[in-house]
Amino acid sequence: MQVQKVLGNIAFFILGNLVVFYFKYIKKYKINQIKELRKFYKNIIKKNKPLLICPNHLTMVDSALIQWALGSIWFYLFRFDKFPWNIPAKENVEKSVLFRIITYLTKCILIDRNGSKEHKDRIVQELAYLLTKKEPICIFIEGTRSPTGKLLEEQINYGAGQLAYDIPETEILIIYFRGKNQTQKSDFPKKNEEFFVRYNLIKPQYHSKGFRAHREITLQILQELKNFENEYFSFYK
């Protein structure tokens, strides 16, 4: 992972600028409150604590959009350690050599959703290691994009809760992020999309141990996302 991070940092000026150029000038996306969010993120990382970033999930490029929302190209060039890691599904990437190269250089750890328990345990161990090194991780508790346009409560996985439990100092940045015209899952948001953004930082609370604690923490994340989703639908019915 250290080699992956070094190579990613070297390639980032070109790759990062290409992605931002595509989002900003080709797709013409606009993120509301981007300056406030970036300032908020900088204040969080000054504390130098383990950080999980937990957004909702509607498009194939959610993690890239959130990385763009949290920091500028210049910020990440000098603080590539604070460019969040991501955990995309292996089956969405392995079909294309280009996608595999891009995900490798943008701090992705591929997970096989149908993989063995040993494979998934190894991924959790790698993520826990990154948290101890104060490297932020973006993880979707829904596990997959929502076909209904609403949070997939019935498919919640408890990986984020497990990581926060295993690394007790972990804080969780919860982000609700979606285009105002997004009605269901898609590969990309629509052109000229303007994004609704809400966020909050929590220190998870739990009273149980083991799996029950994982569940408690994850349900706290879900509740925060549900509150933001309700706010979204109150604006854009």
* 144, 56 Cβ separation under 8 angstroms: no
Q: Pairing between strand 171-179 and 194-202?
A: antiparallel
The structure's pTM equals 0.95
The tens digit of pLDDT for each residue in 24-82 reads 999 999 998 899 999 999 999 999 999 999 999 999 999 999 999 999 999 999 999 99
Domain ranges of the chain: 2-235
* 50, 204 Cβ separation under 8 angstroms: no
Domain 2-235 matching CATH 3.30.70: the answer reads no
Q: Give one DSSP letter per residue of 13-31, joined into a string.
A: HHHHHHHHHIIIIIS--EE
For the cut 70, the answer to whether the pLDDT of residue 237 exceeds it is no
C-alpha R_g of the chain: 17
Point out the least confidently predicted range of 73-77, 99-103, 162-166, 184-188.
99-103
Tokens of 121: 């345990």
pLDDT band at 108 (very low <50, low <70, confident <90, very high): very high
pLDDT band at 236 (very low <50, low <70, confident <90, very high): confident
Looking up tokens 């980032």 gives 12
Output the pLDDT for position 49: 95
